[in-house]
């Protein structure tokens, strides 16, 4: 019971963030308390930190890379592209955001979509006189949904990737069809759900000056992606490729005085990384004190379609109950013995499921704070209704697509 109570305290504080207190300020003491209370041996806690440390380092490098791309003007150029594509038409703006958010989420992680793209979408909609709700909602939904493609798209992916035993290319190949299917379902539902907003007339748009895409940043990102593939093939941790890409952009930015060492450290989100490590310890304590046995009975054996559907459903429900990061920490070790197919089904559940509730993922909570900063609010009823229309359909069809990919490509 002690470990469960500590986990609940950590999650409540991470969701509410009273007085802006960082998540780590509660999670780290909770992890220490779990060890001191004897709910988890020191050796197991150390083992969990060792297991998660490379993932945390990878996440830090990707966050720095995304922030430096923003400093290079990448997201500003994306906003200008969106405005030209939209040409004052709400439907075209929504389509442009779907394309851009899907690519940015997949390549630069969901945090880049939430933190960096959402303000750009607000500004673009305001300049065009278009109601911002549909494209802004698209940012949070696609930050979750479109994060299933690459191992680097989401922290949950990194954890699942490490447990799946798959290479970078095979992981991506297996998740490509589920990625496309889930995004397509979201788009169809969005067009119907926001039909009134998308039909609203907009004033005649002003001409938008094109912004040149920052070639150096684009080349660096492309080289980093190639590095992910290469390191995976030769058996080196892909975190080194992410670190190399971030180092190249950081060196350029420092030489040109576009950033500072302190800004780079802030971009790495060190307190959040400490939160991830501490949360891992607390979740493992809960798993070792009964949760693991209970969840183990829910995770099916084998890789048939019914097993994949059950695994994804359990993961989606658990993500909405305790947040998707603790859910993947708890479920992936239990799913790994059943094979990579079940691990990927769990991943679909923890990534698509959080579109149903605010507390489903930290990215959604962060998106809500950004929306409020722009003098908008999100109704719980509306958010949930949209989630009820998108999550079950996208999850079932994405799992069906995964099952098909496993048969065509092989796990």
Q: What is the pLDDT of residue 126?
A: 81
Q: What is the pLDDT of residue 404?
A: 96
Q: Please, which residues have CB within 8 angstroms of residue 230's CB and are 6 or more apart in sequence? A: 241
Count of CB atoms situated within 10 Å of the CB of 353:
29
d(CA 309, CA 352): 13
pTM: 0.85
Q: What is the pLDDT of residue 411?
A: 61
The DSSP 8-state label assigned to residue 375 in this structure reads T
* Number of Cα atoms under 13 Å in the Cβ half of residue 64: 31
Give the torsion sign (CA, 151, 154, 160, 162): positive
Cβ contact 117:75 at 8 Å: yes
d(CA 163, CA 392): 26
Count of CB atoms situated within 10 Å of the CB of 389:
18
Helix, strand, coil: what percent of the chain each, to 5?
A: 80, 0, 20
Alpha helices in 205-260 (DSSP H): 215-234, 239-255
Q: What is the pLDDT of residue 106?
A: 92
pLDDT (tens digit, 0 to 9) for every residue of the chain, 411 residues total? 788 888 888 878 776 767 777 778 888 999 999 999 889 999 989 988 888 888 788 878 888 888 898 888 888 888 888 888 777 788 999 999 999 999 999 988 888 888 888 888 988 888 878 888 999 999 999 999 999 999 888 889 988 998 888 988 899 999 999 999 999 999 999 999 999 888 876 665 555 566 678 889 889 988 988 888 888 778 787 788 889 999 999 999 999 888 899 999 988 888 888 888 898 898 888 888 877 778 778 888 777 999 999 999 999 999 988 888 888 888 998 899 989 999 999 999 999 999 998 778 878 877 887 887 777 777 778 889 999 999 999 999 999 999 999 999 876
d(CA 52, CA 281): 10
Q: What is the pLDDT of residue 199?
A: 85
Count of CB atoms situated within 10 Å of the CB of 235:
7
């Amino acid at each position: 019971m002690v470990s469960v109570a500590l986990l609940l305290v950590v999650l409540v504080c991470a969701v509410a963030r009273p007085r802006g207190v960082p998540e780590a300020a509660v999670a780290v003491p909770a992890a220490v308390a779990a060890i001191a209370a004897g709910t988890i041996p020191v050796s197991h806690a150390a083992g969990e930190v060792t297991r998660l440390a490379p993932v945390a380092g990878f996440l830090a490098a990707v966050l720095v890379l995304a922030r430096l791309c923003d400093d290079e003007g990448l997201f500003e150029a994306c906003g200008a592209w969106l405005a030209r594509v939209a040409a004052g038409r709400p439907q075209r703006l929504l389509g442009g955001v779907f394309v851009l958010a899907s690519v940015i989420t997949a390549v630069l992680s969901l945090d880049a979509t939430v933190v960096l793209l959402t303000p750009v979408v607000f500004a673009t909609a305001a300049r065009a006189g278009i109601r911002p709700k549909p494209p802004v909602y698209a940012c949070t939904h696609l930050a979750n949904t479109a994060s299933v493609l690459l191992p680097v798209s989401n922290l949950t992916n990194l954890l699942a990737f490490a447990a799946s035993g798959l290479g970078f290319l095979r992981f991506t190949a297996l998740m490509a069809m589920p990625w496309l299917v889930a995004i397509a379902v979201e788009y169809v539902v969005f067009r119907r759900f926001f039909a009134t907003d998308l039909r609203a007339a907009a004033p005649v748009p002003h001409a938008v000056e094109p912004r040149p895409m920052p070639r150096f940043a684009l080349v660096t990102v492309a080289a980093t992606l190639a590095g992910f593939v290469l390191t995976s093939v030769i058996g080196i941790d892909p975190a080194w490729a992410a670190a190399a890409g971030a180092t190249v952009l950081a060196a350029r930015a420092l030489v040109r005085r576009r950033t500072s060492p302190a800004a780079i450290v802030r971009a790495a989100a060190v307190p959040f990384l400490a939160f991830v490590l501490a949360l891992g310890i607390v979740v493992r304590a809960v798993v070792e004190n009964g949760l693991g046995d209970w969840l183990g009975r829910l995770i099916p054996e084998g890789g048939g379609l019914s097993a994949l559907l059950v695994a994804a459903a359990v993961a989606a429900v658990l993500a909405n109950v305790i947040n998707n990061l603790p859910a993947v920490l708890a479920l992936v070790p239990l799913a790994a013995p059943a094979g990579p197919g079940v691990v990927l089904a769990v991943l679909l559940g923890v990534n698509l499921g959080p579109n149903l509730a605010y507390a489903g993922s930290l990215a959604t909570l962060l998106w809500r704070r950004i929306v409020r900063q722009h003098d908008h609010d999100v109704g719980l009823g509306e958010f949930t209704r949209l989630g009820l229309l998108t999550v079950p359909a996208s999850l079932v069809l994405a799992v069906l697509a995964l099952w098909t990919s496993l048969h065509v490509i092989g796990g």
